[in-house]
Amino acid sequence: MSLDTLNVDNKTAWRNRIIGLVLALALYAVDQWLKNYMQYTLDLEQVRNINVLPFFDLTWVPNYGVSLGMLTATSMEMRWMLVGLTGAIALVVAIWMLRERRLIDVIALAMILGGALGNIHDRYTVGFVIDFINIHFWGWTPFVFNLADAAITLGVLIILARSLFMGEKSAPSQGGAQAEESAENS
């Protein structure tokens, strides 16, 4: 267990978890609202593309795959397999989030969970994930994505950054603390 984790009391840890659940549900709700707005209010499914800024368009892209269109669901069986797989991953992330104590970790996992729920909802209800954010530069369009994708990506980046650059020290054991104390006293 890290020193950071030990310094978070139970009340704060539960407050952090509640913040995480609220954030995950809020991300899910905003993601679904945006997708519905794009589909039904802007009629983006019919219009296909709306230029907003020189580097930003709203572009309708039904994504039958997972991340960046990989693992494309070409059949109903594959669609339901992806719903099950992403649902299982979301469940693992939810359990992980509820076990975390530190706010930054809970927030990162909540972003992943909220995004996953948004994309699972799409795949379950319409058979594909609705992507519409198209950021492009000088004719180069890396990919079209949605708020859920952005939240998942940011959450994963936070976890990776914390793992790679914020190495955590283990709490000293009783024996280790006594050995250090006696070494200092000698």
Q: Which of 160, 153, 161, 159 is nearest to 27 (CA)?
A: 153
Torsion (CA) 5, 21, 28, 84 in degrees, nearest 10: 80
Say how far apart CA 155 and CA 104 lie, in whole Å: 10
pLDDT tens-digit map of 173-186: 444 444 444 444 43
Asked if residue 126 belongs to a domain, the reply is yes
For residue 103, the enclosing domain spans 9-167
- What's the pLDDT at 38? 95
Confidence of residue 104 (pLDDT cuts 50, 70, 90): very high
User: Residues 112, 93: contact at Cβ < 8 Å?
Assistant: yes
Confidence of residue 70 (pLDDT cuts 50, 70, 90): low
Asked if residue 58 belongs to a domain, the reply is yes
Asked if residue 92 belongs to a domain, the reply is yes
Query: Domain tally for the chain?
Result: 1
Confidence of residue 72 (pLDDT cuts 50, 70, 90): confident
- What's the pLDDT at 1? 44
For range 31-50, the mean pLDDT: 94
| pLDDT of 4 higher than 90 | no
Asked if residue 125 belongs to a domain, the reply is yes
Asked if residue 71 belongs to a domain, the reply is yes
Q: How many CA atoms lie within 13 A of 44 on its CB side?
A: 23
- What's the pLDDT at 186? 39
Please list the active-site residues.
Answer: 131, 149
Say how far apart CA 8 and CA 24 lie, in whole Å: 21
| pLDDT of 170 higher than 50 | no
